[in-house]
Amino acid sequence: MKRNIRRQIDIGLTGLGIAIIFSAVILGGSLEIQAQLPLALLGVLLMEAGVWGLSTKLFPNERRYSQLREEGDQMIALIRELNHAAIAKSRGEEDAKRFQATLEKMHESVVKMAELAAKEDGVPNPMAPPSQDT
C-alpha cells in the first residue's frame, strides 16, 4: 500500500514540477525574468525530486523480512552466474566445474532461505531451536 502512495507522490511531484515549468514559460510575457527563472528552477527541482524518488527517502522502508530478501537477491545473482557458467560450458570455454560450484551455492542458498523464512527483523526466529543458555 505504501509503495503505491510513494509512487503516486513521485508522479505528483514530477507533474507539479512540469506544470510549474510550463506556467513559467506561458506566463513569460507577463512575468519579469527575475520571477520567471526562480519559478522555472523550482519546477525543475520538483520534477527531479519526483524522478529521483524523493518519497522513498521520506517514508521509511516497511520490509520486515530483510534477511530473506537479501538472500533472495543473492539467489538472483546466482541464477545469473549459473547462466554465464552454462553459456561458457556450452561454448567450450570452460569445463563444468564453475557450473557445478554455482549449482551447489544455489542449493545452500535455498537451505538458508528456508531458515530465514518467517524471520522478521529484530524478532527471534520461531523456527530456530530454543537456546540452552542456563
Please identify which residue in the block is written with the cell numbers 517514508. 59
Check whether residue 54 and residue 72 sit in a common domain. no
Q: How confident is the model at residue 60 (pLDDT cuts 50, 70, 90)?
A: low
Q: What is the pLDDT of residue 134?
A: 46
Check whether residue 50 and residue 73 sit in a common domain. no
Check whether residue 40 and residue 80 sit in a common domain. no
Q: What is the pLDDT of residue 126?
A: 53
Q: Lowest-pLDDT range, 3-12, 16-25, 85-94, 97-106?
A: 3-12
Mean pLDDT of the chain, nearest integer:
83
**What is the model's pTM?**
0.49
Q: What is the pLDDT of residues 62-117, one digit of tens each?
A: 667 888 889 999 999 999 999 999 999 999 888 889 999 999 999 999 999 999 88
Q: What is the pLDDT of residue 47?
A: 87
Q: How far apart are CA 113 and CA 74, in angstroms?
A: 10
Cα angle at 122 between 112 and 7, to 5 degrees?
90
Check whether residue 71 and residue 26 sit in a common domain. no
Q: What is the pLDDT of residues 30-44, one digit of tens each?
A: 888 888 889 889 999
- For the chain, the farthest-separated pair of C-alpha atoms sits apart, in whole angstroms, at 81
In the listed set 23, 41, 58, which residue is the last one of a domain according to the structure? Answer: 58
Average pLDDT over residues 37-56: 84
Domain assignment of residue 36, given as a range: 2-58
Check whether residue 12 and residue 44 sit in a common domain. yes
The structural domain count of the chain equals: 2
pLDDT at 130 over 70: no
